[in-house]
């Protein structure tokens, strides 16, 4: 593509092969790290600052998904379209909250668009994580918490500050992004690398790692441990059991069912297009509520 406007830097939303990339300013450093050698084509714009691409006025607005995540607003001859990217409505100390934008057409994600997905309070979930960590410490074992390396891990670290100032070990993939978040001024629990030193005694420690590290040789250093997983999918008992983690914690960077319905309504859009996950259910529900809705096929992935 000549110019790619990027909503956020997760792998299914930012990929190489374009000449030019436009991101929101707070997400610039993350996108730069992710693009590697292609980052020379990267340009950052402030939230809500309009720019012109051909005949279209383009601006980026906070989406509350991860640091620098954005909704894309497009205006052409008085008609406004908004692409939500991934978003959530829960408070998150690592990123600016979503602002609903009035538009004619709203393209919304629908990853968790079933009424069974309604998130508990973040404080409550992080409290459960801390209790699990403490219980494991009493048993003399490590707690390995798997969570997406970009966004979720930093959110957990930021939320942990309300409970403890103890250091948390992080996998190398997490550490790189924690460093970027720290430089952006995001306050998080202190972290130590769980990658370099093989002689560390991890008994009683909390370790954050990406799901891809599960079952790898990297895990051997922790000897006996309990495993946990942070994801919206952990809401359903069958999913918790199938994934084979000891514990599931319901913590998602996506909107839950009430937040999806509310956001689609708040934009005032006359037409809503749905992508990701349960887009068919959301489409049918909105149509029955009198909204002109349709599913839109994309290559976006689902939350890990």
Partner 1 sequence: MRAFAQLYEELDTTTSTNLKVDAMVRYFRAASLADAAWATYILSGRRLKRFIGPALIGRWLIETAHLPQWLVEESTAAVGDLAEAIALIMDVSDKQTSAIEDLSLSQWIDSRLLPLRTMDEAAQRARITGWWRSLPYRECFLVNKLLTGSLRVGVSELLVTRALSQALDLPRSEVARRLMGEWTPSEQFWQQLGAAQAAQVDPPRPTRSFWPRRTKARSRRLARRRTI
Least separation, in Å, of the C-beta of 205 and partner 1? 19
Name the residue nearer to partner 1 (CB basis): 167 or 258.
Answer: 258
Which of 1, 43, 56, 118 is close enough to bind partner 1 by CB under 8 A?
118
Which ranges in the chain belong to alpha helices (H)? 28-35, 122-138, 152-160, 172-183, 237-243, 257-266, 279-288
Q: Roughly how many angstroms between the first and final C-alpha of the chain, as a whole number?
A: 27
Q: Does residue 183 bind partner 1 (CB under 8 A)?
A: no
Name the residue nearer to partner 1 (CB basis): 166 or 224.
Answer: 224
Closest C-alpha to 223, from 142, 167, 146, 147: 142
Closest C-alpha to 266, from 120, 99, 71: 99
- With contact defined as beta carbons under 8 Å apart, do 93 and 118 qualify? no
Least separation, in Å, of the C-beta of 64 and partner 1? 17
Which of 8, 247, 254, 276 is close enough to bind partner 1 by CB under 8 A?
247
Q: Which of residues 259-298 bind partner 1 (CB under 8 A)?
A: 278, 281, 284-285, 288
- x/- mask, partner 1, residues 225-244, rule CB under 8 A, reads ----------xxxx------
Phi, psi angle pair for 229, to nearest 5°? -140, 130
Least separation, in Å, of the C-beta of 133 and partner 1? 14
Burial (Cβ within 10 Å: 0-12, 13-18, ≥19) of residue 5 = buried
CA distance 262 to 284: 16
Applying CB under 8 A, the residues found at the interface with partner 1 are 114-118, 235-238, 246-247, 258, 278, 281, 284-285, 288
């Amino acid at each position: 593509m000549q110019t790619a406007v990027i909503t956020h830097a997760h792998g299914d939303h930012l990929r190489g092969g374009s000449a030019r990339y436009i991101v929101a300013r707070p997400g610039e450093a993350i996108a730069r790290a992710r693009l590697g050698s292609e980052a020379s084509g990267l340009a950052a714009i402030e939230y809500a600052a309009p720019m012109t691409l051909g005949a279209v006025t383009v601006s980026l607005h906070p989406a509350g998904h991860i640091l620098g995540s954005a909704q894309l607003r497009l205006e052409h001859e008085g008609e406004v379209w908004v692409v939500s990217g991934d978003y959530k409505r829960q408070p998150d100390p690592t990123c600016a909250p979503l602002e609903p934008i009035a538009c004619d057409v709203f393209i919304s994600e629908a990853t968790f668009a079933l009424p069974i997905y309604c998130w508990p309070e973040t404080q409550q979930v992080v409290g459960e994580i801390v209790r699990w960590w403490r219980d494991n410490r009493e048993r003399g074992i490590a707690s390995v918490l798997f969570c997406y390396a970009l966004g979720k891990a930093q959110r957990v670290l930021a939320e942990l500050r309300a409970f403890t100032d103890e250091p948390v070990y992080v996998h190398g993939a997490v550490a790189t992004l924690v460093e970027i978040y720290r430089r952006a001024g995001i306050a998080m629990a202190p972290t130590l690398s769980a990658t370099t030193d093989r002689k560390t005694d991890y008994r009683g420690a909390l370790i954050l790692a990406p799901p891809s590290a599960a079952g790898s040789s990297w895990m051997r250093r922790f000897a006996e441990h309990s495993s946990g997983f942070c994801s919206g999918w952990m809401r359903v008992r069958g999913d918790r059991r199938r994934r084979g983690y000891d514990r599931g914690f319901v913590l998602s960077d996506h909107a839950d069912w009430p937040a999806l319905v509310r956001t689609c309504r708040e934009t005032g859009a006359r037409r809503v297009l749905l992508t990701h996950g349960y887009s068919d259910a959301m489409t049918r529900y909105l149509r029955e509520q009198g909204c002109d809705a349709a599913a839109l096929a994309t290559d976006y992935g689902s939350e890990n």
